[in-house]
Amino acid sequence: MAATMLKLLEAAQTTEEQYLRHIFVRDQMAEWSKSPLIMAKAEGVHYWDVNGKHYLDALSGIYTVSVGHNNRRVIEAIKHQLDTLHFSPPMHGTNPVAVQLANMIAEVAPGDLNTVKFECSGSEVNEAAIKLARQYHRLTGNPGKYKVISRYSSWHGSTLGALSASGLKSRKTVNEPMAPGFLHVFPPTCYRCPFGKTYPTCEITCATLVNDVIEMEDPATVAAVMVEPIGHTGGIIDPPPEYLRILRDVCTRHNVMLIFDEIITGMGRTGHLFAAETFDVLPDVICTAKGLSGGFTPLSAMICRKPIADVFWGPVATNPGFVEGHTFEGNPVSCAAGIAVLREILENDLCGNARRQGARLRAGFEKLAAKYGIIGDIRGKGLLQGIEFVKDLKTKERFPATPGIGLQIGRRALAGGLLCRFDPHWIAFGPALNVTSEQLDEMLSMLDRCIGEVLNETA
Ligand SMILES: Cc1ncc(COP(=O)(O)O)c(C=O)c1O
């Protein structure tokens, strides 16, 4: 029976609804299955779907394929690791590849961020960071500190703790109630300031308010502040330079752990290995994932500062160690991929390339803004940048959310063979860190064409 099914599937190329009925995808399934995107092959910044259609990947999968598809160095490292050791017992220890990657990360991470917990996904390391904060405070005589402050519009992951920290109602409401102990503040959306102010005369209210929230909640109950240095899901929320510095001061003042969710911004995307360096602010914890293994294997890392890690090295009678773990943590094949990716980034100066191509991307978006008059704001850093569409540049009035001009343009792009991130009001690019000028120009010119076509049709 199974063999017959497989034969049928090979012939049917897996796109027929009878086969798609057996898999959940992230997209709205009834809609997706009308024209299902099923990728079959990739190389560099190119994808081909099961029908042989070609796509330029301006999103590196989903900010994941940091060193390009089909990168031979990473593949060889994985093959070698598969021939050597593909799994080590996580309840009893670890493996040399995990130790090596942890040491490499300790070497390149900013400040004294030098101790790593490996997991498989962004959600898992964000969960780990929340648990680290709570357990750290418990071990250091502050067991009442458990609350986590994060931001509206944020995305920290699908597991219930990370979801509770997230601020996206569209992804939360269906799963409510959330876990207790999670509070949200407004993000630094300067283009549409939630307080009706204008930078820089705003005095960065969105950051200083975090201090007020901690004081109103009682600092003795607050464990951590968790933020993405550049928020993604709210439409590439790039904070003013003072913002993260103020959060740092506030957290230090109240003995609250500052956690940077660098699931997207980590590993070179903003032009430095970590956005913490781009903004020159040292958090207590960095969580990184997507680009860490280049998308070849599931891998994420929670990196904490030495004084925090030291607290977990107490004697067995009083200290259980860090009570957190998963079966596939520190998987040797994933860590081998992580080592190869990190070498690729460092030896080829891909952070430098992200800065250079980031400047080119900004210039390209600026050209589109001048040409079409519907781009109100361009945000982001390095190879994480997005554009916000507005109907009226002066009033910042948006286009109607339905059909959503960003969706129209993004879907048109996909149909025309360009993969980017799209939302009703914005579009973002996040290509591989080794993208070339020619490839980036081609991505931009495809976007240009799509904007023009959609505007023509809706005129
Ligand atoms: C900023 C951020 N944090 C956390 C996550 C969750 O990561 P994962 O989907 O690997 O669990 C994501 C995923 O998109 C993300 O963008």
Q: What is the DSSP string of 81-123?
A: HHHH-S---TTT---HHHHHHHHHHHHHSSTTEEEEEEESSHH
pLDDT recorded at residue 15 = 83
The CATH architecture of the domain made up of 37-70+349-458 is: Alpha-Beta Complex (3.90)
pLDDT in tens, 78-131: 999 999 999 999 999 999 999 999 999 999 999 999 999 999 999 999 999 999
pLDDT recorded at residue 13 = 66
CB 220 within 8 A of CB 144: yes
Q: How many residues does the chain have?
A: 459
- Please identify every stretch of the chain with a pLDDT value under 50, giving residue numbers as ranges: none
pLDDT recorded at residue 81 = 98
Taking the centre of ligand 1 as the mean of its atom positions, its distance from the CA of residue 188, in whole angstroms, is: 20
| Alpha-carbon span 324 to 287, nearest angstrom | 15
pLDDT recorded at residue 146 = 98
Q: Where are the domains of the chain?
A: 37-70+349-458, 72-347
Q: Mark 344-380 as b/e (b = at least 16 C-beta within 10 Å).
A: bbeeeebbebbbbbbebbbebbeebbeeeebbbbbbb
CB 160 within 8 A of CB 174: no
| Alpha-carbon span 155 to 196, nearest angstrom | 24
Of 63, 164, 264, the one to substitute when testing ligand 1's pocket (max ligand atoms within 8 A of C-beta) is 264
The single residue listed with the structure tokens 């361009």 is 378
Cis peptide before 177 (omega within 30 of 0): yes
Question: Kind of pairing, strands 257-262 and 285-288?
Answer: parallel
Residue 80's SS3 state is helix
CB 339 within 8 A of CB 77: yes
Taking the centre of ligand 1 as the mean of its atom positions, its distance from the CA of residue 7, in whole angstroms, is: 36
pLDDT recorded at residue 213 = 98
From the CA of 121, give the closest atom in ligand 1.
10
Taking the centre of ligand 1 as the mean of its atom positions, its distance from the CA of residue 156, in whole angstroms, is: 5
| Alpha-carbon span 419 to 406, nearest angstrom | 13
Residue of the CA atom closest to atom 4 of ligand 1: 156
Q: Is the dihedral of CA 403, 406, 411, 413 positive or negative?
A: positive
Residue 45's SS3 state is coil
> Looking at the domain 72-347, which fold is it?
Aspartate Aminotransferase; domain 2 (3.40.640)
The single residue listed with the structure tokens 């980034």 is 345
pLDDT in tens, 395-453: 999 999 999 999 999 999 999 999 999 999 999 999 999 999 999 999 999 999 999 99
Q: Can you read off the two tokens belonging to residue 337?
A: 């991929």
The binding-site residues of ligand 1, defined as CB within 6 angstroms of any ligand atom, are 121-123, 126, 155-158, 228, 232, 261, 263-264, 289
Q: Is 193 exposed, middle or buried (0-12, 13-18, 19+ CB in 10 A)?
A: middle
Question: Within a 10 A sphere around the Cβ of 88, how many other Cβ atoms?
Answer: 16
Taking the centre of ligand 1 as the mean of its atom positions, its distance from the CA of residue 208, in whole angstroms, is: 26
pLDDT recorded at residue 183 = 98
> H helices within 199-331, ranges in order?
205-217, 241-253, 275-278, 306-311
What pTM does this model have?
A: 0.97
From the CA of 159, give the closest atom in ligand 1.
11
Which residue spans within 249-299 are E strands per DSSP? Answer: 257-262, 285-288
